[in-house]
Amino acid sequence: MTTRHTTRQAPAPSPADPALPDGRGDLSHGVVRALRDRPGDRSALPPDGTADAADPYGDDLHLALYVCYELHYRGFRDVDPAREWDPALLGLRAALERRFLAALREDTRAQPPGADEALAVLLVEPVGGAGLSHHLRDAGELWQLREYAAQRSLYHLKEADPHLWVIPRLRGRAKAAMVAVEYDEYGAGRADRMHSRLFADLMTDLGLDTTYGRYLDVATAEMLASVNLMSMFGLHRALRGALVGHFAALEVTSSPSSRRLVRAMRRTGAGEAAEHFYAEHVEADAVHEQVARRDVVGGLLADEPWLEKDVAFGVNATEMLDARLVEKTLTAWRAGRSSLRAPL
């Protein structure tokens, strides 16, 4: 009897797959090196305990975590799809998540512990609003809109994908409502109306490259943390309540901020598609907000009331990370500097 040995071939490169980014420290360099040069070699990864000493909101940790998560989405050019379930990478990812999650829980301890109270904070428009959409509406310049869109592309080019992970973990009213909202996010069955497609059209109007992952190397730690948050919540059944809270927070704040961004795009002459993306969200998310609060959050807590603190945690963590991103971006812009790691 003859035994046949086969050699696994590396996947053929595709221009549609994003390239691996440059590392920003020991953690991210190790992950990128392991994926690029040394598949299956655990020695390429940073030693155990490295994540425990990392800045939980810093560039190195969040780029490493982002790269690990992307293996569950589109992957990377020339990286074997089987690496999605590489035990060594999953072990490192778990350590990164523990560090990030512990910091989030510690830094949101003083926030409202109930779901209704946490969401109520988001429903109150602060006097003299100081968010990014306020700045862009009132004083934003076209170069700032381009930076904003380049960073946001890390989420919007896969808009709704992180939230889909939670659907099998819900039941009844919450599941049905979540599916209804996500159906709209995916264009109600029409590829040309998918929100990710509409955002790519916005980027074209702004003269940006619509390639998936194109702006990863210039994105800040604050942006990476916001995107990682939704992936972390979505990929863990134990965090389903936090994901629902995160989802509700996005829907509650989306319509008013989108209205301001419509005005920003119109004022700067950004383009018809750029304006349309946010106009679509003004209408859709005004409805989604009600569904998210009443049926997704309400349905989940009717079935699993013990998850209320988790829902509130998801809301509070989302708002805290958004505030960090706002502060970092506006500080740079007000000083006349790029808010990115390197100017466009």
Q: 294: which DSSP letter?
A: I
pLDDT exceeds cutoff 50 at 223? yes
Q: What is the SS3 assignment for 225?
A: helix
Residues 6+ apart with CB under 8 A from 48: 95
- Measured from the Cβ of residue 133, the count of other Cβ atoms closer than 10 Å reads 22
- Cβ distance 35 to 77 under 8 Å? no
pLDDT exceeds cutoff 80 at 1? no
Calculate ∠ Cα 20-23-27, nearest 5°.
Answer: 115
Cβ burial of 50 (10 Å; 0-12, 13-18, 19+) is buried
SS3 content of the chain, % helix, strand, coil (to 5): 70, 0, 30
Tokens representing 281?
Answer: 């969200």
- Measured from the Cβ of residue 6, the count of other Cβ atoms closer than 10 Å reads 5
Cβ burial of 80 (10 Å; 0-12, 13-18, 19+) is middle
pLDDT (0 to 100) of residue 6: 39
The alpha carbon of residue 91 and the mean position of all alpha carbons in its chain are separated, in whole angstroms, by: 22
What is the rounded distance in angstroms from the CA atom of residue 51 to the CA atom of residue 4? Answer: 42
- Cβ distance 163 to 243 under 8 Å? yes
pLDDT tens digit string along 80-138? 999 999 999 999 999 999 999 999 999 999 998 899 999 988 877 655 567 899 999 99
- Cβ distance 203 to 130 under 8 Å? no
Residue 170 is which amino acid?
A: L
Residues of the chain within CATH 1.20.910.10 domain(s) are: 112-334
Tokens representing 202?
Answer: 């916005």
Distance (Å) of CA 226 to CA 87, 138, 322: 25, 25, 7
pLDDT exceeds cutoff 80 at 33? yes
Round the average pLDDT of the chain to a whole number and report it.
91
pLDDT exceeds cutoff 60 at 41? yes
Quick one: CA dihedral 326, 331, 336, 340, positive or negative?
negative
- Cβ distance 18 to 216 under 8 Å? yes
pLDDT exceeds cutoff 50 at 340? yes
Q: In 3D, which of 177, 139, 185, 200 has the Cα closest to residue 334? A: 139
Distance (Å) of CA 84 to CA 39, 81, 89, 231: 12, 6, 8, 14
As assigned by CATH, the class of the 112-334 domain is mainly alpha
pLDDT exceeds cutoff 70 at 15? no
Check: pTM over 0.85? Answer yes or no. yes
What is the rounded distance in angstroms from the CA atom of residue 159 to the CA atom of residue 199? Answer: 9
pLDDT (0 to 100) of residue 290: 87
